Amino acid sequence: MKPATGHASCRRALNPFHIAIFWLVIVAAVLGLARPVAAEVRQVPAAEMNDGGLFLPADRPGYVVPATTVDTDVHIEVSGMVARARVTQRFVNPTDDWVEGVYVFPLPEDAAVDRLRLLIGERQVIGEIMERAAARQAYEQARDAGQRASLVSQERPNMFTNAVANIPPGEAITVEIEYQEALDYRDEAFSLRFPMVVLPRYIPGDAIGTRPDSGTGWSFDTDRVPDASRITPPVAAPGTGPTNPLRLSVALAPGFPVGSLESPHHAIEVTERPDGGYDIELASADVYTTRDFELVWRPVASAVPTAGVFTERLGDFDYHLIMVMPPEEPGAVLDLPREMVFVIDTSGSMAGDSIVQAREALRFALDRLGPDDRFNIIAFNDQPTSLFTHAQPVSLRSLEAGRRFVDGLIADGGTEMRSALQLALAGPVSEEAFRQIVFITDGSVGNKAELFGLIHSGIGNSRLFTVGIGSAPNSFFMTQAAESGRGTFTYIGNTAQVAERMGDLFARLASPALTDIRIAWPDGTTAESYPGAIPDLYLGEPVIVSARTPAGTEGEITVSGDRGAQTFISTTELNAGQDAAGVAALWARAQIGSLESQIYRGADREAISRQITDVALEYQLVSAYTSLVAIDPTVVRPQVETVTTEAIATNMPDGVDMQMADVAAPPQPLDSLGAIRAMAANGSVQVAQLPRGSTPAGLNMLFGVLCLVAALALLLAARRWVRWMPVSQP
C-alpha cells in the first residue's frame, strides 16, 4: 500500500499551481546557469582610477580592475639606543572576491620581530610563535576553513612575508607587527632606518620545481636561490602610479640634548616635547613605500656619549646592551702603503640615480688616493671588467685612465657578483701593502649565502668595505659582507650624501683600526655576549655588545683593544644601566644573528637551525625557522565561495629605472621568452587583453542530458507505477 499512499499524497500536493512553481524554478536555474558561473571581476572605467588604489588593465579596453593593496602605519618609539616599532598593515581588498593577500616587505636587518596582532573590529587575535612548517600548516588550514588569519615569516633577516587570508570582498583586514632594534651609532650620530621597499633581487641559476612552500613571486625557485619565488614580489606596472601608502611617526627620547636632527630622504615635521623628547612625523600625507626612511640625530658637542649600558631583567637573568666609544687619537694615520681595489656594480638595478651616485663616489675616492698607494677598478654586471690587470701605482696617467673608466660606466645587465669578488680577492698582494677593497653596490642579490662563503674563504689579510647605494639597498647583505671581510658598511641614500659619507669612509680607511678587542666581566661572572668575537673597529665606531648575566650581577666591565702599538682600556659600571624594555629580545636576536653567520662559515646547517629554533621559541622571535601566526576562530567565508591568492604588487624603489628587463636579467640570453618570464611583472613585458577562451557547450550538453535523463526516468517511473498499481490491489 505504501506506493499508493505516497502517490496519493503527491497527487494532492501537485496541483497546477505547484507545477507552475516547479517550472519557474527550472527556468530560473537555466537562466542562472546561462550566466557565466565564475563571478566576473568588477571592472571600473579607467577614469575612476583617481579614487586611489592600484588598478590592473581589464579585458575591456579603457577599463581597469582594482587590486588588493596594503596601507602601512608605522610608529617607532626610540629610547636611548633601543627602538620599538609597531607596523600596522591594512590589507584593502577592493575586488568582489575573497582574497588571500601575500605581501613581501622589508624590515631593518637586526629587527627582533616578536608580536603579531590581527585586529577585527574591537577584538584582537594575538599571534603565537611556532616552528615555520607548523605555522604554515596551521595558517593554511585556517585559510581553507574560511577563517581570517595572518602568517608572518622571515625570508631574509631584512625581508618578511605577511600572508593574510580571507579578506572579504570590498573589505579590509588590519594586522599589527612589532619589533625591537638597537640603533646605529657611529661618527657621533645616531641613526634610525626604516626600509620601505624590497629592491628587486637578481636571481642567478636554473629553475627547479615548485614545492609546497613556494611563494608567489615573479621568479621560479632556482638551484642557486632555492626560495627565489618567495623573495621576488611583483612590481606594480609602470604607469599605475605608486601603490601602498605609508604614514610614519617617531617618538624620540634621546637621553641627551640634541644638537641636530634630520631626515635626509623625507620631509618631516618635528615637535619638541617639554621632557626633551621629540615627536616626528612625515610632513607629506602622500608618501608611498618607494624609498627608505632615515632619521639621524647628533648630541650637542658637550654631551657626546662615550659609554652606555641598558639593562632589562627577565627571569633569572639580566640582559645588557653595552656601548663603549673608544677615545679618538687625533692625527693617528695608517702609515702602510695601501692597495685599493674599487669594485663597482654596474648591473641593471643600479640604473638611474644609483649609478650617478656610484660614479660620484668613485671620483671622490680617486681624488683621495695617496701618492704611495696603488689602485685598480673592477666594474661588473654579467661579467667583471677591470681597469688594469693588476693594481697600478698612483700617477697622473693612471688616475686619468681611472677617471675616464669611471665616466664611461653605465648600468645594464645582470649581477654576477661572484666572479667580480673572486677577481677582487685574487691577484698578487705585495708584502708590505695593506689591501682594502671598496665594494660599491645596491646588493640586489639573491645568492648571499654563496657570496659570504666566498668572502670568508678568500679575504686573507685584505679588508672589504661595502658602500650601499640607492634608495633601498640591501643593507643586510652589505653589513654581513663587510663583517665577513672585516671592514665596515657605509650607506649613501642620495647624491647629496656622497661627499659626506665617502669622506667618513676615507677617514676610516686612512686611520688604523682598533683590533683585538676584549671584554672583561666582573670576577666570577659568567656572561654570554654577542658578537662572540668583536670585529675590528674603525674610526668613529663604538663597541656594541649584547650580553646576558645572572640576575643581580654588579661590578665593572673592562673593554680593551689595540690601536697600532697603543692599548686602550675603558671601564664601565654595569649596574649603572638604565632600565630598557626589549633588551632581552635584542640579546636573543644577536645570538640568532651570530648562529646564522656560523652557517656562512661552514657550520652544520642542521644543528645550527635546531639551535636557532630553540632560541627563537624561548624568546618568542620570528626567525628563518619560526613564524608568527594569528588565527581568528570565527569562520567568515561561506564554503561555496573560494579564496583567490593575490601577490601584493610593490613599488619600484625611487630612482631605479623602470626597466625590469635590466633589473633582474638572469644569465640566460635576453632573447629567450623563458628568460623574460622568469624576470618580470612588467618592463619590456606588455599587458594585453586576453580573450575568453571557453564556450558553454559542455555545460549545455551536460544540462541537456540531465534534463533528458530526468524526463525519461519520470516517464518510465510513471508507466511502472501504473503497471504496479493493480498488483498491489488486494
Q: Of residues 24, 126, 635, 707, which one binds another protein by CB under 8 A? A: 707
Rg of the chain, C-alpha, whole Å:
32
41 binding another protein? (CB under 8 A): yes
Q: Of residues 21, 24, 25, 26, which one binds another protein by CB under 8 A? A: 26
Instruction: Please report how close the Cβ of residue 199 comes to another protein at its closest, in angstroms.
Output: 20
Using the contact rule CB under 8 A, the part of the chain among 284-292, 437-445, 596-604, 673-681 near another protein is 673-681
Q: Which residues pair with 116 in a beta bridge?
A: 177
Q: How far is Cα 613 from Cα 397, in angstroms, rounded to an integer?
A: 57
Instruction: Please report how close the Cβ of residue 380 comes to another protein at its closest, in angstroms.
Output: 25
Q: What is the 3-state secondary structure (H, E, C) of 623-668?
A: ECCEEEEEEEEEECCCCCCCEEEEECCECCCCCECCCHHHHCCCCC
DSSP character string of 119-177: EETTEEEE-EEEEHHHHHHHHHHHHHHTEEEEEEEEEETTEEEEEEEEEPTT-EEEEEE
Scanning residues 161 to 190, which ones bind another protein (CB under 8 A)?
Answer: none
25 binding another protein? (CB under 8 A): no
CB 375 within 8 A of CB 339: yes
Q: Output 170 or 602, the one with its CB closest to another protein.
A: 170
Q: Which residues pair with 451 in a beta bridge?
A: none
Using the contact rule CB under 8 A, the part of the chain among 257-265, 358-366, 550-558, 669-677 near another protein is 669-677
Residue 643, CA distances (Å) to 95, 133, 142, 628, 690 in order = 12, 21, 12, 22, 22
Residue 185, CA distances (Å) to 27, 327, 445, 464, 525 in order = 75, 15, 27, 20, 28
Neighbours of 361 (CB within 10 A): 26
Q: Of residues 50, 327, 695, 730, which one binds another protein by CB under 8 A? A: 695
Scanning residues 642 to 661, which ones bind another protein (CB under 8 A)?
Answer: 644, 646
Instruction: Please report how close the Cβ of residue 56 comes to another protein at its closest, in angstroms.
Output: 6
Q: Output 55 or 293, the one with its CB closest to another protein.
A: 55
389 binding another protein? (CB under 8 A): no
Under DSSP, is residue 244 helix (H, G, I), strand (E, B) or coil?
Answer: coil
8 binding another protein? (CB under 8 A): yes
Scanning residues 237 to 276, which ones bind another protein (CB under 8 A)?
Answer: 237
CA neighbor of 203 nearest in space, from 417, 421, 446: 446
Look-up: residue for cell 701605482?
A: 393
Number of residues that bind another protein (CB under 8 A): 73
Which amino acid is located at 52 in the chain? Answer: G
Instruction: Please report how close the Cβ of residue 414 comes to another protein at its closest, in angstroms.
Output: 17
Q: Of residues 301, 640, 673, 730, which one binds another protein by CB under 8 A? A: 673
Using the contact rule CB under 8 A, the part of the chain among 256-264, 532-540, 573-581, 694-702 near another protein is 694-702
Scanning residues 585 to 644, which ones bind another protein (CB under 8 A)?
Answer: 644
Using the contact rule CB under 8 A, the part of the chain among 284-292, 333-341, 411-419, 721-729 near another protein is 721-729
83 binding another protein? (CB under 8 A): no
Scanning residues 55 to 74, which ones bind another protein (CB under 8 A)?
Answer: 56, 58-59, 65, 67
Q: How far is Cα 579 from Cα 560, in angstroms, rounded to an integer?
A: 25
285 binding another protein? (CB under 8 A): no
Instruction: Please report how close the Cβ of residue 27 comes to another protein at its closest, in angstroms.
Output: 9
Under DSSP, is residue 423 helix (H, G, I), strand (E, B) or coil?
Answer: helix
Instruction: Please report how close the Cβ of residue 710 comes to another protein at its closest, in angstroms.
Output: 5
Using the contact rule CB under 8 A, the part of the chain among 239-247, 261-269, 304-312, 719-727 near another protein is 719-727
Residue 485, CA distances (Å) to 464, 478, 570, 681, 705 in order = 5, 10, 26, 35, 74
Q: Of residues 209, 428, 726, 730, which one binds another protein by CB under 8 A? A: 726
Using the contact rule CB under 8 A, the part of the chain among 38-46, 412-420, 548-556, 581-589 near another protein is 38-46
Q: How far is Cα 656 from Cα 630, in angstroms, rounded to an integer?
A: 36
Q: How far is Cα 88 from Cα 71, in angstroms, rounded to an integer?
A: 8
Q: Output 38 or 285, the one with its CB closest to another protein.
A: 38
Neighbours of 373 (CB within 10 A): 18
Q: Of residues 306, 383, 634, 672, which one binds another protein by CB under 8 A? A: 672
Using the contact rule CB under 8 A, the part of the chain among 34-42, 279-287, 328-336, 416-424 near another protein is 34-42
85 binding another protein? (CB under 8 A): no
